[in-house]
Amino acid sequence: MTLGIDFVLYATVRVLISVLQTLPSDMGDRLCHGLAWLATGPFKIRQDITKNNLDQIFPDASERDRERLAFAMWHHLLLMVCEIAWAQRRLHLTNWSQYIVFRENRQTLQHLLSRRPKVTVTGHFGNFEVGGYLTGLMGFSTLTIARKLDNPFLHRWVQRFRGAKGQHMVDKEGCAPAVDAHLKKGGILTLLADQHAGPKGCWVNFLGVPASCHKALSLFALSSNAPMMIGSTTRITGHPMRFEMSCSGIADPENDPEGHCESITTLTRWYNEGLARDINQSVEQYWWLHRRWRTPPPRVAARLAKAEQRKAA
């Protein structure tokens, strides 16, 4: 019975995606505006989580400004789905320059083309799915850690999209041997760095609020002596299917004058600060409905508060 429901859901999604693939960009953009109004208005999807996140991160913003940001976020998320549907049919090696501009590409290419292992971190920001697809299209094979979807039909379909150009996926459960082997070969590991890691994670401030981070992200880079790069694929404002791919920072254990790679905590703090800077450039393209921030244990909260006081002094 469960498989039957899963298949019906999968078939429905495929039909909807097929319809989206026929739409021109401007029509898809208008459709997403209408659906965003439904999500933030009558349906109020994940309204409480979104409001709580925005209240924490933007305490000085007016209620109206936060409502506008919630609407813009939903428009971004829905347009992200359209862009994923359009990518395989519209993005090719012969026309990629119509859709992508690169920033800091010389420094990024220098590291990507080296024989050393590389770790790239991003967040639920911009269109990271299209970013993975574009990286493969450019000829770089990557390994990405991702949770397996509950619906097996949707999981296989999403895997096919992600792997179409060389992005290989591995389930987060028991992934360490595969990741270790990949990095030893000089491969590129790509990670979503803004996943909640529970009370025993590495707690640092993210956008000014304590957040728990998985220690494994920094450990992968430090244990393999791999440069860590902060990457993003953001939509150019007002232009569906037009992206800027950038690398806003690199921390290299072999060349670390500022001490970012001294420990798991310093490297975790560094990439969270970098992600925060990127997000502040396009706040509407972050997943504010994502349960990123939780209440830290009392001892952690006290330690972070003291650290902020020392920093302010």
Tens of pLDDT, residues 152-192: 999 999 888 888 888 888 988 888 899 999 999 999 999 99
Q: What pLDDT score does 313 carry?
A: 67
Q: What pLDDT score does 301 carry?
A: 86
Residue ranges per domain, the chain?
Answer: 92-312
How many Å separate Cα 3 from the centre of its chain? 30
> What are the start-end ranges of the H helices in the chain?
2-21, 25-40, 47-57, 63-90, 105-112, 128-137, 152-162, 176-184, 215-223, 264-281, 298-312
Q: What pLDDT score does 2 carry?
A: 80
**Percentage of the chain lying above the pLDDT 90 cut:** 77
Q: What pLDDT score does 309 carry?
A: 80
Q: What pLDDT score does 254 carry?
A: 94
Alpha carbons within 13 angstroms on the beta-carbon side of residue 95 total 10
Q: What is the mean pLDDT of residues 261-287?
A: 97
Contact 304/296 with Cβ under 8 angstroms?
yes
Distance CA 85, CA 23 (A): 10
pLDDT in tens, 55-112: 999 999 999 999 999 999 999 999 999 999 999 899 998 999 999 999 877 878 888 8
Q: What is the mean pLDDT of residues 251-261?
A: 95
Does pLDDT of 1 surpass 80? Answer: no
The torsion defined by the Cα of 131, 269, 46 and 190, in degrees rounded to 10, comes to 30
Residues across the chain: 313
Average pLDDT of every residue of the chain: 93
Does pLDDT of 291 surpass 80? Answer: yes
pLDDT bin (cut points 50, 70, 90) of residue 54 is very high
The residues with which 103 forms a beta bridge, in sequence order, are: 246
Q: What pLDDT score does 164 carry?
A: 84
Q: Give the phi and the psi of residue 64 in degrees, each rounded to 5.
A: -65, -40
Q: What is the pTM of this model?
A: 0.94
CA distances from 142 to 101, 207, 219 (A): 20, 28, 18
How would you classify the pairing of strands 228-235 and 188-192? Answer: unpaired
Q: What pLDDT score does 80 carry?
A: 97
Distance CA 269, CA 271 (A): 6
3-state secondary structure of 170: strand
How many CB atoms neighbour CB 178 within 10 A?
14
Q: What pLDDT score does 234 carry?
A: 97
Helix axes 63-90, 47-57, angle to 10 degrees: 110
pLDDT in tens, 38-50: 999 999 999 999 9
The answer for residues whose C-beta is within 8 angstroms of residue 142's C-beta and 6 or more apart is 120, 132, 135, 136, 166, 167, 168, 187, 188, 189, 190
Distance CA 61, CA 114 (A): 44
Q: What pLDDT score does 166 carry?
A: 83
Considering 128-137, 140-149, 265-274, the range whose residues carry the highest mean pLDDT is 265-274
Q: What is the mean pLDDT of residues 287-302?
A: 93
3-state secondary structure of 282: coil
